[in-house]
Structure 1
């Protein structure tokens, strides 16, 4: 058994939905969360910059004694995962894309599995490329939903305004007759119920945070890295602190979070 913490990072605080899911699936585990709020959003950064940020953050989390790293960001998963695997070959590194891809490729024989995500993730085509590589029989239509992240961060969800915006995106013609929809952004678990309401139970809505949490559980078990009891406090770190980030973080983690600033770029 290994009571060292799990390191989780994101470009901001949206990845706290993944941290929350991991804590629910693995209640004995301690986490250290790092939100790179100094550089958010990653979606408009170059691949080279994202890789550089991700390497630095991973090195920082490993210096804190983390036994595994979870990339709780779709953009960093798309652009930095392979690089991090090469750079840190002895450390289990988990991203938010691959577990969801594997889940879809194995569960659905044919038909349409759609993706709703930010412009950056949609542009990368990470989900269609990976899903079709594993299961060529699947169609993977995509829809970019740029208004959803700022909407959610402002607390506009589970109301008439948010439902109208969500309905507008989900009414896209290429999403007709889909079997499942991947919520391809770590903010989106907060609107899962509204997405499900639109589809009225006819479409499986796949929350990548919960899929990643279950995958993390399997990896830790396979590597013999499971904690046998809760030990120590979780830590929540950002690269640039503002009180608004701390307030918004409650939305994503489900309870009050104390953010500490660590300027690892200085």
Structure 2
């Protein structure tokens, strides 16, 4: 079957987007991928919208240089402030963010129409999740909670430590002490699934955690199916290439936690986005 063998480009401020790449590689076994982690400049969540948009443009410029056929913004902050600009600027290359798929999954999961969004400061301030959820469920009650420390914990690979437990308790105890507590939590940052175990233990099994990675992978698969961009079945082995803007060795070591499989540090290319 003939198709388009060019890779799909994926980028994030660091390693959190590897959770999205993990879902993509599982969902799309015949596709090739290029992943960029802007590890030198993370976290994006504390940066201004203009700065994040500038970083996102630099990241996509590098990916386009690798001849990608589609761009996946595997970063909630960049999706919240830069998706529309990138969709316009990169046309006709499709650009997919993680917020709309995450909102859709949250709406599908809730039973009491109360949804909590755990995200970075920038994503919360931008309000993109609230807008996306309300488009789908106008009467939803949404609580957005900035959990910036979660990003640093995830980037250290601290999925289950005393520091992680303490941070989860400090952030979430006030929310779940309220009578109008949500029954669904959207993990509104691709770093946060690494901490999902600690979060679930604190809130209990009656609270649904929503990770947008699987829903984003489904959106990418749908876009490919409705276009002429599918790779087709070539029989050639799948390739996944990695770029990082700082410390390829650390990217490979910690990134394996997010990606769910080993990453050879020799397979991670160091790049300077300002020179891309």
Considering the TM-score relative to the shorter chain, is it more than 0.5?
yes
Q: How many residues align?
A: 266
Cα 1:134–1:193 shift into 2, 3 Å: same
**Inter-partner Cα distance in structure 2 for 1:172 and 1:136:** 25
Q: Please say if residues 157 and 163 of structure 1, whose CA atoms lie closer than 8 Å, have aligned partners that are also in contact.
A: no
Of 224-233 and 127-136, deviating more is 224-233
Secondary structure, counterpart of 2:23 in structure 1 = helix
**Inter-partner Cα distance in structure 2 for 1:152 and 1:103:** 22
**Inter-partner Cα distance in structure 2 for 1:160 and 1:52:** 36
- Aligned runs of 1:1-266 on 2, under 5 Å? 1-105=3-107, 108=110, 111-173=113-175, 176=178, 177-229=181-233, 230-257=236-263, 258-266=267-275
Q: Please say if residues 112 and 182 of structure 2, whose CA atoms lie closer than 8 Å, have aligned partners that are also in contact.
A: no
Of 181-190 and 125-134, deviating more is 125-134
Secondary structure, counterpart of 1:223 in structure 2 = coil
Q: Please say if residues 110 and 137 of structure 1, whose CA atoms lie closer than 8 Å, have aligned partners that are also in contact.
A: no
**Inter-partner Cα distance in structure 1 for 2:248 and 2:110:** 43
Q: Deviations over 1:36-79 (max 9, x none)?
A: 22322222322222222212221221221211100011111011
Structure 2: stretches of 5+ with no match in the other structure: none
Q: Please say if residues 189 and 209 of structure 1, whose CA atoms lie closer than 8 Å, have aligned partners that are also in contact.
A: no
Q: Please say if residues 57 and 86 of structure 2, whose CA atoms lie closer than 8 Å, have aligned partners that are also in contact.
A: yes
The Cα RMSD (Å) is 2.1
Q: What is the CA-CA distance between 1:174 and the residue it aligns to? A: 6.1
Q: Please say if residues 49 and 122 of structure 2, whose CA atoms lie closer than 8 Å, have aligned partners that are also in contact.
A: no
Q: What is the CA-CA distance between 1:215 and the residue it aligns to? A: 1.5
TM score, norm. by length of structure 2: 0.88
Of 188-197 and 166-175, deviating more is 166-175
Q: Please say if residues 109 and 137 of structure 1, whose CA atoms lie closer than 8 Å, have aligned partners that are also in contact.
A: no
TM score, norm. by length of structure 1: 0.91
Q: Deviations over 1:136-156 (max 9, x none)?
A: 210111222222121222222
Of 227-236 and 13-22, deviating more is 227-236
**Inter-partner Cα distance in structure 2 for 1:104 and 1:50:** 25
Structure 1: stretches of 5+ with no match in the other structure: none
